[in-house]
Each structure stands twice: as C-alpha cells, then as structure tokens.
C-alpha cells in the first residue's frame, strides 16, 4: 500500500502539471487544405490547424511551427527545415511555409505548439507531413509500359485499313 503522503504528492504533481499546461490543443493539421498530402507543387505550402478546448472562450495568442526533414528529428523538436519561433498571432490558417528551399520529392514533417490567452504553452500537436511532387523533368525515371512493337506507324493512307462503323 502506498503511504498517504506519497499518494498525495503524486496527485499534487499531476494536478500542478495539468494546471500549467494550456487548456487548448492544436488538432487536424492540414497542408494546402489536405491531411498529409503527397505531391505538392508549391514552394511555400500553406499550413493550418484547428483548436480544441474544454474551456469556454479559449483563445490562441501565439504559435510556433517546426518543420523537419525526418520524423526522428521532429520527435526531438529539431526544426532543421524551419523553426518559426514563437509568433504572437491568433492566426491558425494560411500560414505560409517560410523555411529552407525544398527539393523536388522532399518529405517534410511538421507540428505546431500554441499559447493560450494566459501565456501558457500547450503541448505540441501530433505530427503531420507533406511531400513535394516531382517538379523537374529530370526527376522522372520511368519509361512507357507497353508491348514492344518495332513496326512503323501507318504512314500511308492508301494502305491504312479502317473497318466500317457499326450501326446498332
């Protein structure tokens, strides 16, 4: 059995930890209005999120966006592609990516942290991601998938045979 003092201490630590975190949470992260899109063709995709809270009148007063080149770096809160820093704003839509230039086909992992009206930081959002499309002709390495036919295409209308149209 846990002594009363220890169990009281655990409850107190949990209560204080919960009270220090903001009462809002960013959810439903989107990039160009899509959840985890693949093949984006824009150099500066627009980011957005929704806020949820159990408290009435909860409001975002600032945000911080991290964009990383790998999920591992993002989990360590390393925004090697972009770290917006704390931005004093209530905006949660149309936030344009303003980090390092992105390569064709590059994967980007991102998350956001917000601050509430009392200046308390919320926990980081769940991660989201997007991938740039193959934007240059040299990025495409595929060939046509078809039956190999070396016969020349019909070049003479005199020898071209077209069957009559069917009338039903």
DSSP 11-46: HHHHHHHHHHS-SEEEEEEEETTBSS-EEE--SS-E
Question: SS3 for 4?
Answer: helix
What is the predicted pLDDT for the residue at 100?
A: 94
Identify how many contiguous H helices and E strands the chain contains and give both numbers: 2, 9
For residues 113 and 147, which has the higher predicted lDDT (pLDDT)?
113
pLDDT for 146 beyond 80: no
List, for residues 77-128, the tens digit of each pLDDT value: 999 999 999 999 999 999 999 999 999 999 999 999 999 999 999 999 999 9
pLDDT for 75 beyond 70: yes
Edge-to-edge strands, sheet with 95-96: 24-31, 46-53, 95-96
């Amino acid at each position: 059995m846990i002594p009363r003092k220890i169990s009281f201490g655990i409850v107190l630590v949990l209560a204080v930890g919960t009270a220090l975190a903001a009462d809002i949470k960013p959810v439903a992260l989107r990039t160009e209005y899509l959840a985890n899109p693949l093949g984006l063709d824009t150099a500066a995709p627009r980011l957005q999120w929704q806020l949820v809270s159990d408290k009435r009148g909860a409001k975002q007063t600032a945000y911080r966006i991290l964009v990383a080149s790998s999920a591992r770096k993002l989990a360590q809160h390393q925004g090697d592609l972009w770290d917006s820093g704390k931005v004093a704003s209530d905006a949660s839509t149309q936030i344009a990516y303003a980090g390092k230039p992105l390569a064709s086909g590059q994967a980007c992992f991102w998350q956001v942290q917000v601050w509430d009206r009392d200046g308390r930081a919320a926990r980081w959002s769940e991660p989201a991601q997007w991938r740039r499309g193959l934007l240059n002709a040299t990025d495409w390495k595929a060939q046509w998938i078809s039956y190999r036919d070396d016969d020349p295409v019909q070049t003479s209308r005199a020898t071209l045979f077209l069957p009559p149209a069917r009338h039903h």
